[in-house]
Structure formats: C-alpha cells, structure tokens
Amino acid sequence: MFIVLRSFFRKIVYTPSIALKLIVLLFMVFLYGTTGFVYFEMEENPDITFVDGFWYSIVTMATVGYGDLFPKTTPGRLLIGVPLMLLGIGLLGYTLSIVATVLITEKNKEIKGMSNINLKDHLVIINYPSLSKIALIITELKNDPAFREDSFVAIIDEDLEELPPELSSGGIRFIRGNPTRDETLTRASIDYARHVVVLCKNPGNPASDNLNVAITLAVEGRTGAASKRIKTVVECVNPYTEALLRKAKCDHVVCLSRFDAYFVSQELLNPGTQEVIFELIDSSKGEQLYFTPIACKEGDTFSTLKAAASGFNHIVLGLRRQHSDFILNPPPETLLNNNDTAITIGPKRIDKFSVG
C-alpha cells in the first residue's frame, strides 16, 4: 500500500504531466469564473444560477460572446470578466494547440510505421515490393465477398520510410520494423490476424527467398492460441524454396518463376493462354474461378454435381480432394465425398453446392 501511495504522489503530486496540469488549471479557471460571476452579479439579478455562471465562463473563454449573459457590476467586470478574457482565452488556446500537436504527432507516427495497431481479423502484408502490386492485391481481395470490404489491412516493411498517400488515405496501417522479430509482429497484432501474405522483397532476386523463409518461421512459430488460425500465403522466386516453406508450415506457396515458365511455354503452344488465365483470376470483370464446398449424400456423382452447379450458371471443371489432390474433368460416374471441393467457373461466389 505504501508503494502504491508513493508512486501516486510521485506521478500526480510531485511530477504531474502537462495534460494533468492543463486539466487542473482549466478547472480552476472555470470554477473561479462560475462562482465569481454568481457572487458579484447576484445583487443585480437574484435569479442567476451556477449554470448561468458556467455558461458565461465557457462563452467568454471560447470568444463566442453571445451577449445573453454579461457582468453588470464593476467588480464582476474587472475581477471576473477581464481575467477570463485574458487568462482563460490564452489557457484554452494553449490547450487546443497541445491537443492538435498530439493528434498530428500520432498521425505522423502512424504514417511512418512507428505506432502499434490493435486490430482483429485483419490482413497482414509483409514486405513492400511496389505500390502497384500492393494496391492490386488489396483491390482484388476487396472485390470478392469472401474478403470483407471493411476488413483492415496492415503492411510490415523494414525499409519503407513512409506509407504512400494512396494507401494511407484508404485506411491501410503501416508497421516499420524487421518482420522476423516477434516485437514487430506483435505491434501488427499478428496473433489476431486472419490472413498473412508474405511477398518477395525483390521478385527478381532468388536471395529474397531466404528472408521469406525466416519470416514464415517467425509467423508460424508463434505459440498463441489465436495465431493458430492464421492462413498464410508466401511468395518465392526459386522453385526449390517451396519445400522449405512447406516445412515451415505455411498454408500456401506461390512460386513466381514457375508461373513465368508456364506462361511462356503455353503462350507459344496456345496463343492467348495468359489472357484467359487473367480473365479467370481478375475479380473485377467477367467469369471467375471458384473453389466451392460440396454437401452431398452417399452415391452422388460428378454428373449430379454438374447439374446442381448449372442452376447457378457455374461450369464444373473438376474436384479437389481432402488431401489437395486435384481431379480435372473426371468421368461422370465419379463418386463424391462430403469433404470434396468443386472447381468451377461462374459469375459469383456460391457458399456451398447442395448435391442430390
């Protein structure tokens, strides 16, 4: 108890903060103006109350001057009105300037990534390769109902000095720091995030894979109960890094160089392939590629799934089994399982296909 009292007196009585000093001074000025106005003006107007005195003090200090209440006695004007106009106005102006400075400082800290964030179910993007790539990822995600439009996004990067205005104006939060350190991840509330995307720092440099492996280990190695539900997607340049990332327990890996090789070869063999692929994965226009859960009963087949999907104007391309095995264009008599996922092309996302 003695320690608590000593700490209280040290922080409140002996070394009070500027905010506490201002609050006390404002309270004293309001109390002085309220009681003094009522005391000196009571003889001229017996109906005056403390509410009137408080109203007069606020109006005078705020330089509004409605004129509905004013001191009529000489002591009221000299001892109450003048001090309120000189001391009160200056004190209130100083207080407002302090508040404005604090708000500006906090905003600058937020833009420069120096503040902490307190979010939940948000998306964390680690590494900042370019503004165009970050903006495209966020736009694509928010175009799909599966990612709520009002979801918050936080960016972690060690080298970015300031968040671009195009992102800060959209409500994107920024944390500057080393993403392999727990302190940086904690500042981004990563334990309570729903999705984590780790981008390649330099998409043309295979050495950036080493950083992404370290980041993945740092994210997946967190032991909080909430962190276990995070879905992670990690980029890599070298195809051989995929095995390391999967050992690090990330959920999905996107290998940039592998896709580049496929696009080049397919464009040579089947000109126009990349336009078709872009059409299927671009959520802003046309038909989209979707993975939709299936609810079925024993004996249902792929042909019955196609019939159920056609009612939603979806074309079924194949199935994804429980262990991520893909079966494209299976025979019509292929039996379905309740844990299968339908791979379809359609105009909008469907929550579930009920077969049979």
Superfamily of domain 123-260: NAD(P)-binding Rossmann-like Domain (3.40.50.720)
How many Å apart are CA 303 and CA 354, to the nearest integer? Answer: 13
The SS3 of residue 28 is: helix
pLDDT of residue 125: 94
Place of tokens 């705020």: 62
Please, what sign has the CA dihedral across residues 281, 282, 285, 290?
A: positive
Report the candidate in 267, 127, 292, 259 with the shortest Cα–Cα distance to residue 198.
127
pLDDT of residue 314: 92
Dig out the tokens for 226 from the structure: 């909430």
List the chain pLDDT tens, one digit each, 356 residues.
555 455 545 555 556 667 677 778 888 888 888 888 888 888 778 888 888 888 888 888 877 777 778 788 888 888 888 888 887 777 777 777 877 877 787 777 777 878 888 888 899 999 999 999 999 888 888 887 777 666 789 999 999 888 888 888 888 899 999 999 999 999 999 989 989 999 998 887 888 899 999 999 999 888 665 556 788 999 998 888 988 998 888 889 998 887 777 888 888 888 888 888 888 887 777 788 889 888 888 888 899 989 888 888 999 999 988 766 788 898 989 888 888 899 999 888 888 888 86
Any idea what DSSP says for residue 285?
A: S
How many Å apart are CA 261 and CA 246, to the nearest integer? Answer: 21
DSSP H helices, 270-328, are 273-281, 302-310
How many Å apart are CA 341 and CA 351, to the nearest integer? Answer: 11
pLDDT of residue 14: 55
Dig out the tokens for 25 from the structure: 């001074």
How many Å apart are CA 148 and CA 95, to the nearest integer? Answer: 40
pLDDT of residue 12: 53
Phi and psi at 43, nearest 5°, equal -65, -40
Q: Which fold has domain 2-111?
A: Helix Hairpins (1.10.287)
Check if the beta carbon of residue 133 is closer than 8 Å to that of residue 199.
Answer: yes
Any idea what DSSP says for residue 246?
A: H
pLDDT of residue 6: 54
Report the candidate in 231, 236, 222, 229 with the shortest Cα–Cα distance to residue 250.
231
Report the candidate in 181, 156, 176, 17 with the shortest Cα–Cα distance to residue 108.
176
DSSP string, 56-101: HHHHHHTT---SSS---SHHIIIIIIHHIIIIIHHHHHHHHHHHHH
Report the candidate in 47, 58, 76, 152 with the shortest Cα–Cα distance to residue 110.
152
Phi and psi at 254, nearest 5°, equal -115, 115
Check if the beta carbon of residue 177 is closer than 8 Å to that of residue 155.
Answer: no
Check if the beta carbon of residue 344 is closer than 8 Å to that of residue 293.
Answer: no
Check if the beta carbon of residue 129 is closer than 8 Å to that of residue 203.
Answer: yes
CB neighbours of residue 30 within 10 Å: 17
Check if the beta carbon of residue 354 is closer than 8 Å to that of residue 342.
Answer: no
How many Å apart are CA 123 and CA 196, to the nearest integer? Answer: 6
Dig out the tokens for 201 from the structure: 């720092």
pLDDT of residue 181: 93
pLDDT of residue 205: 81
Check if the beta carbon of residue 256 is closer than 8 Å to that of residue 203.
Answer: yes
Superfamily of domain 287-354: Regulator of K+ conductance, C-terminal domain (3.30.70.1450)
**Per-domain residue ranges for the chain?**
2-111, 123-260, 287-354
